[in-house]
Amino acid sequence: MVTLEHSPVSSSRKVLGGTFVLRVTRVPTQTLLDYFDDGRSLYEVLEPFPSVRLENARDFLTLNRSTKSQMSTASGMTNQPG
């Protein structure tokens, strides 16, 4: 289960100026999303980034989907006719 304590993402001013990266790496999360947007598979995305653990990548994707779903739900609720 992905929680704040066990988040696959971290951010620190000391690492890439605070850019969100996968935990214990210097790989920006946006880079992974860009690769996926280009239609690459999880294994194709991980190939050039040996420091990224498969489990962290999967957890990040789960977190990203969950966040998008929550944002979509919240957006739909605010746009409902009153």
pLDDT at 10: 83
For the chain, 82 residues long, give each residue's pLDDT as a single digit of tens: 555 567 888 888 988 888 889 888 889 999 999 998 999 998 998 999 999 999 998 888 888 887 776 665 666 655 555 4
CATH number of 9-65: 3.40.50.2300, 3.40.50.720, 1.10.287.950, 1.10.10.10? 1.10.10.10
What does the domain layout of the chain look like in residue ranges? Answer: 9-65
d(CA 80, CA 73): 11
**What's the token pair of residue 32?**
């992974």
